[in-house]
Structure 1
Amino acid sequence: MNRGGHDEQLDRLTGILATMSREAAVAVRDASTALLDVDRGAAEAVVSRDASLDAHRRDVEALIPEVLVRQQPVASDLRLVLCAIRVAGDLERMGDLAVHIAKIVLMRHPVAVVPERARDVMGVLTGATARIADKTALVLATRDQLDAMQLGLDDDEVDAAQARLLSMLVAGWPYGVESAIDLALLGRYYERYADHAVNVARQVVYLVTGTIRL
């Protein structure tokens, strides 16, 4: 394979990752809509579309041997391959976490999962996570180190909102144990989603610089 064909494969690899990041962002936004609006259709859509992210990860894994074997890669190519494997895993897991959120909505429907008392903090949590998702997609597209490092600060907002939620649940929660468990799980799912997004940003920094700086 000539270098032009090799570069096309690398471009395809980065293109798949970009698609995955956009789909993961849509998934968490739709899951949040389902959660806050008690929207069964949005929740079902999140679950049904998850197979696409799984397929994209398989495409990445299938493409890696082609990149490595058919032409001897340079150091930057090897970094891209290593990052692609890790990033694809993180993005697939982000999609899975959005599915977990959607499934809680489906399990409780037509009853709202989020009581009025928790709507404000859940609004902060879902909004901060959506911004992180969008920024992750942007970072993968632009490979901007500053935006990548900013994600670590954005993650702090998610962590703070999750902590507020947990404090609320242990301070005389009036809606029962089942509700408290649901919200504790939701907080964990959003927190883990943001953590995986930060992992993606770390890989972008590594891809650009050869070092991890987050």
Structure 2
Amino acid sequence: MREAYQSDLRHLVDDLVDMASMVGSALEDATAALLEGDLGLAERVIAADPHIDERQIDLDSKTVELLARQSPVATDLRLLVASLRMSSSLERMGDLCAHVALVARRSHPELAVPEQHRAQIQKMSDLAAAALRDAAVVITDRDLALAAQVEKNDDELDDLQQQIAREIGKGQDYTNTQIVDLTLLIRFYERLGDHAVSLVRRVGFLVTGDAVDTLHQSTDVPEF
């Protein structure tokens, strides 16, 4: 019985990593659709988002069942509690990828991102994707040193968001639609980074038992 229980806990971790992989693919495809004007790819990202939602529902159901059936304590309890929060963050990351794809679809056949911002948006996407990959490693290995690096690297995403926002504010060569789309897009990518930070902080709670600072900008992520 104990071996089966431990196997169930390991499967929860595997499910979280699988969700992270699904979100990573969605992020890569959404950015490609956005920058290349690939309508078909945008549609696939949007259509795939409910599957990420379903994975969250399934994972949370397993977690609640283990909580009810096993009455876990100590580290096992923290794992189950953290799992519920991490699955929620991953589901929101999937939603944000779908939002990027929706901008790409709405702008088609035009490109939503002006030429002067394409490299910056690609960089924001790359940073968010790297943060998500590192977060998956942190979830698997409980690597708190890497978790700290994810938090540190998130500052670069924040800086890029602010840089683009300043350039939009100064520029005169944007349509109203471009201003709205760019403002939304940089917010989406910045929020992806925040959710990655939230993931690694939940692992910190799992390992140390220290409460997550819910007043911290990068862990108390609003619904967006």
Q: Same fold (TM over 0.5)?
A: yes
Within 2, Cα distance between the matches of 1:94 and 1:72?
Answer: 30
Give the aligned partner of residue 8 of structure 2: 9
Within 2, Cα distance between the matches of 1:123 and 1:61?
Answer: 33
Give the aligned partner of residue 140 of structure 1: 139
CA contact (8 A) 1:27 1:95 kept: yes
The alignment's TM-score, normalised by the length of structure 2, stands at 0.90
Give the aligned partner of residue 26 of structure 2: 27
Within 2, Cα distance between the matches of 1:56 and 1:101?
Answer: 21
Name the CA shift for 1:175/1:104 in 2 (closer, same or farther; >3 Å). same
Within 1, Cα distance between the matches of 2:134 and 2:126?
Answer: 12
Within 2, Cα distance between the matches of 1:88 and 1:22?
Answer: 12
Letter in 2 for 1:37: E
Give the aligned partner of residue 58 of structure 1: 57
Within 2, Cα distance between the matches of 1:112 and 1:120?
Answer: 14
Tell me the CA shift for residue 48 of structure 1: 1.4
Matched, 1:156 2:155: yes
Give the aligned partner of residue 131 of structure 1: 130
Matched, 1:176 2:175: yes
Structure 1 runs of 4+ off > 6 angstroms? Answer: none
- Where in structure 2 are there 5+ consecutive unaligned residues? 214-224
Number of aligned residue pairs: give it.
213
Letter in 2 for 1:18: V
Name the CA shift for 1:173/1:132 in 2 (closer, same or farther; >3 Å). farther
Letter in 2 for 1:161: L
Within 1, Cα distance between the matches of 2:129 and 2:25?
Answer: 9
Letter in 1 for 2:70: Q
Tell me the CA shift for residue 69 of structure 1: 2.2
Letter in 1 for 2:117: A
1:119-169 Cα distance to aligned partner (Å, 9 max, x none): 232222122112112212222222211111111111111001101110111
1:52-110 Cα distance to aligned partner (Å, 9 max, x none): 21111111221123212222313111000110000000000000000000000001111
Within 1, Cα distance between the matches of 2:68 and 2:119?
Answer: 52
Give the aligned partner of residue 167 of structure 1: 166
Within 2, Cα distance between the matches of 1:141 and 1:65?
Answer: 21
The alignment's TM-score, normalised by the length of structure 1, stands at 0.94
Within 2, Cα distance between the matches of 1:212 and 1:131?
Answer: 26
CA contact (8 A) 2:202 2:212 kept: no
Within 1, Cα distance between the matches of 2:44 and 2:138?
Answer: 26
Within 2, Cα distance between the matches of 1:121 and 1:142?
Answer: 31
CA contact (8 A) 2:128 2:193 kept: yes
Matched, 1:37 2:22: no
How many percent of aligned residue pairs carry the same amino acid?
A: 37
CA contact (8 A) 2:96 2:192 kept: yes
**SS at 2:70's partner residue?**
coil
Within 1, Cα distance between the matches of 2:31 and 2:153?
Answer: 18
Matched, 1:199 2:195: no
CA contact (8 A) 2:56 2:91 kept: yes
Matched, 1:116 2:119: no
